[in-house]
Structure formats: structure tokens, C-alpha cells
Amino acid sequence: MGVTIDPTAEPVVDATVLLADFAQVVDSKLYLLGGGLTAIGPQPQPVAVAILLQIPWDRANIAHSWLLELLDEDGAPVPDADNPLTVGGNVETGRPVGARPGSPLQVPIVVNFTALPVQTPGTYLFRLSIDDATASGWTARLLVRPGQP
């Protein structure tokens, strides 16, 4: 069963979610290969979810929990074995030396999948939530193409 998100909760943190063939974080920057991925298949292939958090200045040095879920076209969690496919963790960032007061603090996160556990062609959705809140822009759609008959 997926995480219940409170649609009335106002997110404190902002985020950008992007799909790619591969992604990594180096020196607090996102590096993407095949960024803007929207379709895969029909053969299994790697998929990366790149996330760039924008944490408000006044939320520095405060832990924030994040959760990424894979949902099907109907919004139901996609299982991996018997459990929903979710990845999550906590982030906390400080104010860098020399940063202008009030500037948002960026935190990149990358989740690489060697292959997604989807067997049915269709549209899938990665949904991000932070501190149990989500926003309409915190999703990324992925089409899984059908195989040839």
C-alpha cells in the first residue's frame, strides 16, 4: 500500500523531478545522461529519477524526509515483489559559506533503477513527497511501450 499524502498540506520545500537514462550527483550538482526521458521498452532498461530540492533559507539544518513512489495509471502503487516500489530517505543541509541570506539551498538527489518492475505496457508515474506533502509538479510520467506481437 502506498503512502497517504495530505493534499491540503502546503509543502515547505520545492522540488524539480526529471527522468533520465542515468544520473549522478557530483560536487552537489546533477549530471544527467538522456535527461528528459519519457518512454522506455518494451525491453527492460535503466531509468534514473533526478530530484533537485530547493530548501528555504530558514529551513537550513532541519531534517526533511522524502519519498519517491512508482504508481500505475490509476494511481495505485506498483509492487516490487509483494511491496510497493518506494525509495526514500532524509536530507538536511546547512548554509554554505558566502551564500546570500535568503537564498534557497539546493540539494540534489538521484535514484537509479537498473530496470523497473513493470511488466504491463502503459503509463506510470513517479511521485515525490517531502515531509508527507506533495505538489502537482513533483511527478514524472513514463510510458512503457508494448512489445511487438
Q: Give residue-wise pLDDT tens across range 8-53.
A: 556 689 999 999 999 999 999 999 999 999 999 888 899 999 999 9
What's the per-residue H, E or C state across the chain?
CCCCCCCCCCCCCEEEEEEECEEEEECCEEEEECCCCCEECCCCCCEEEEEEEEECHHHCCCCEEEEEEEECCCCCECEECCEECEEEEEECCCCCCCCCCCCCEEEEEEEEECCCCCCCCEEEEEEEEECCECCCCCEEEEEECCCCC
27 domain residue, yes or no:
yes
Q: State which residues form the domain around 75.
A: 14-94+103-144
2 domain residue, yes or no:
no
Domains in the chain, number:
1
CATH number at residue 20: 2.60.40.1930
120 domain residue, yes or no:
yes
24 domain residue, yes or no:
yes
User: pLDDT per residue over 58-72, tens digit each?
Assistant: 999 999 999 999 999
